[in-house]
Amino acid sequence: MSSAAFEHLPTQSETPAEPAPSAQTGLRIGVLALQGDFREHVATLAVLGARPVTVRRPEELDRLDGLVIPGGESTSIDKLARAFGVAEPLKRKISEGFPVYGSCAGMILLADEIADPAQDLSGRPQETFGGLDITVRRNAFGRQRESFETDLDFKDIDQARGPVHAVFIRGPWVERVGDSVEVLAEVDPQHASHTATLGGRSRIVAVRSGNLLATSFHPEVTGERRVHELFIRMIKGEA
């Protein structure tokens, strides 16, 4: 994940959907494409029969059924979203019940509170769009070289297809959840590859509240489709 993604912005805002293997959902789902691994989310949504639309400008938030905020660097996405005028309308939409799924940096951007926000050169802490009554800790599992993979029991998805294989790359964990927030998955210290950093405790890595869904990990990079499927079911009012 690098800020290089930002230097290669395609000019078109609508990505032609691949022929869907399953029934077309026809849903227009935005993917915030300011920085990070938005292309992987676009590809996953297209395979599931949605119509992914990259979003960089405020007007591109209109006429969407939902939005995905990708993994990347939450400080960069925050700054660019404010610079491009996307942050305020997005916050407003979230408060009105707009469905949003955030992976990794996207989870940080949906959190109402960051335990350890980064500060810019003038000492201003990073901001979030908010909406999820959670406190996240950034890079909680360690830096890039402590990236790890593990299998998770994930609620509300098709269990018959086995556990969710989750890849964590400088991911956050959730330190506090409000009453409205449902925990969907936790990393079990027995099965994580670096039990030392977990301090022997389970750590919350997937949550849902109303129309907001967030994961500390990146289903978009492993071919795991069930998290996006859950998000599509949420948009359709089926989950």
Contacts to ligand GLN by CB under 6 A: 1, 71-74, 104-105, 108, 138-139, 169-171
* Strands in 45-181 per DSSP E: 51-55, 66-69, 100-103, 111-114, 132-137, 148-152, 164-168, 173-177
Buried b (16+ CB within 10 A) or exposed e, 42-71: bbbbbbbbbbbbbbbeeebbeebbbbbbbb
At 232, is the secondary structure helix, strand, or coil?
helix
Q: Which is nearer to ligand GLN, 25 or 103 (CB)?
A: 103
Tell me how far apart the alpha carbons of residues 81 and 28 are, in angstroms, rounded to a whole number: 20
Residue 104 designated active-site: yes
H/E stretch holding 81 reads helix 74-83
At 137, is the secondary structure helix, strand, or coil?
strand
Q: Which is nearer to ligand GLN, 93 or 137 (CB)?
A: 137
User: For residue 33, which of 79, 81, 65 has the smallest C-alpha distance?
Assistant: 81
From the list 220, 224, 228, 229, the catalytic residue is: 220
CB of 172 to ligand GLN, least distance (A): 7
Residue 220 designated active-site: yes
Amino acid at the residue 81: A
CB of 68 to ligand GLN, least distance (A): 13
From the list 41, 60, 73, 218, the catalytic residue is: 218
Amino acid at the residue 212: L
At 192, is the secondary structure helix, strand, or coil?
coil
The answer to whether 219 and 104 have CB atoms below 8 angstroms apart is no
From the list 41, 104, 228, 229, the catalytic residue is: 104
Q: Which is nearer to ligand GLN, 17 or 166 (CB)?
A: 166
Total Cβ atoms within 10 A of residue 141: 24
CB of 12 to ligand GLN, least distance (A): 25
CB of 118 to ligand GLN, least distance (A): 7
Q: Which is nearer to ligand GLN, 1 or 192 (CB)?
A: 1
Residue 218 designated active-site: yes
Q: Which is nearer to ligand GLN, 220 or 229 (CB)?
A: 220
CB of 76 to ligand GLN, least distance (A): 8
Catalytic site residues? 104, 218, 220
